[in-house]
Amino acid sequence: MTQLTHPPFAPKVLQTLQSLGIRTQADIRSRGATGTFLLLKAAGLTVTRSTLWQLAAAMRNAGAHDLEPSEKNALLEAVRLHPPVAVFPPASEMEFFMRQALAQAKQSAAAGEIPVGAVAVKNGEIIAAAHNTCISSCNIGRHAEISVLEAAGRTLQNYRLDGCDIYITLEPCSMCAGALIQARVARVVYGAREPKTGAAGSVVDLFGNIRLNRRTAIAGGVLADECGALLQQFFHARRQTRPTQ
């Protein structure tokens, strides 16, 4: 593996890349030049177009001067169209908060509701927690995400949840994805994918839709097996209790 060096990267760029776990050409390739560029910005580094050229050139072991004008224009357009990027917490921290969301989901299951739970986090502290209550409330809007946004808004006395993270055991649907975007949540972390209704890439990707107010970065797959198993167990038990005809 070819290690990244100075030159061509400026010392601060190289230091930030290393802090993000990006140390080789292969690391850049795995994220793409535009994704890596936006990650540097999300980390608080002031970067210029030349950094983008250097990242793209490093992917193919070339120099920035080798890029054609058309390639540079394509990179700039890719940056414009790229889904939001954020620096997410360490895996151990995300797993901790996802376990709190799982505890909420288990409350749903115990009440006969589809087991989905969510927590809202700000500055490393849980400020709200909720789970699905659609059946008991006779309200399709009582998804865990909608309820946790409402509870967090009451806590902060603001419907805009700038700087907040939302952890959800299941990939949000289009209704919930829209609410998360409208609330200006900074980061969404979900557990299991939802192949039938997921709006974070499984069916549609509202978070990456350039026509919407794109502010919310998303990461999935945190404790995915545990989150998915809880849903599978719930639906299996429900099928077992259905009367036979």
Active site residues: 145
Q: For residues 85-120, b (16+ Cβ closer than 10 Å) or e, as one string? A: bbebbeeeebbebbbebbebbbbbbeeebbbbbbbb
Q: Put the strands of the sheet holding 117-122 in their side by side order.
A: 125-131, 117-122, 164-170, 187-192, 217-219
**176 labeled part of a ligand binding site:** yes
Residues 6+ positions from 196 with CB-CB distance below 8 Å:
202, 203
Residue 3 DSSP code: B
Strand bridging mode 117-122 / 187-192: unpaired
Residue 40, SS3? Answer: helix
15, containing H or E segment? helix 11-19
CA angle 181, 223, 117 (to 5 degrees): 50
Binding residue ranges: 143, 173, 176
Residues of the binding site for Zn(2+): 143, 173, 176
